[in-house]
Structure 1
Amino acid sequence: MAKRAAALHILVKTEKQAQDILAQLKKGGNFQQLAKKHSTCPSKRKGGDLGEFKQGDMVPAFDKAVFKGELLTPLGPVKTKFGFHIIKVLYRS
């Protein structure tokens, strides 16, 4: 089972906004550009890049999505206490 992962994410306040961004991504939108434009997380400066982290480092719903979701495919929206996330898992190891 994977113990580490790296991911990008876009954090927004509403589920509708998250769905709109997800639709743009499915039409070929650039994840990092959309993160820089829309995300409310400080990681937006790096295109939503969260770097590598250990399983259990993130809030439970986010952690579950990262360690069970498809690789390299935008997933979400994932609701946490911070808002709604669109996540792109780069790798798990």
Structure 2
Amino acid sequence: MARTAAALHILVKHKELAEDLLKQLEKGAKFQTLAKKHSTCPSGKKGGSLGEFTKGTMVPQFDKVAFTAEMLTPHLVKTKFGWHIIKVLYRT
């Protein structure tokens, strides 16, 4: 079972915007470019990079995706902070 993961994410307030960004990613848009332009999280300035984090560090809904979802595929998840598009880069 993985103990750490590294991920990129884009945080937005509205589901409609999150779904639109997800569609843009599916059509080949660059994750980092969209994160810099749209993410309300400070990590947006770094292209959405959250770096490496341990299991249990993030809110439960985010943590579940980070440690169980398919890697390198953007996933949409809602937390108390808003709508996230999460792309897991690796797990260790």
TM-score range, shorter chain: over 0.9
Percent of paired sites with the same residue = 68
Normalized against structure 2, the TM-score is what? 0.99
Q: CA deviation at 1:29?
A: 0.5
Q: What are the ranges of 5 or more consecutive residues in structure 2 without an aligned counterpart?
A: none
- Give the number of equivalent residue pairs: 92
TM-score (norm 1): 0.98
Aligned residue in 2 for 1:13: 13
Residue 16 of structure 1 aligns to a residue whose secondary structure is helix
Shift of 1:56: 0.2
Runs of 5+ unmatched residues, structure 1:
none
Aligned mates of 2:28, 2:45 — CA distance in 1? 21
Superposed structure 1 runs of 4+ greater than 3 Å apart: none
Partner AA of 1:86 in structure 2? I
Matched, 1:63 2:54: no
Secondary structure of the 1:17 match is: helix
Q: CA RMSD in A?
A: 0.4
Letter in 1 for 2:70: E
Amino acid aligned to 2:88: V
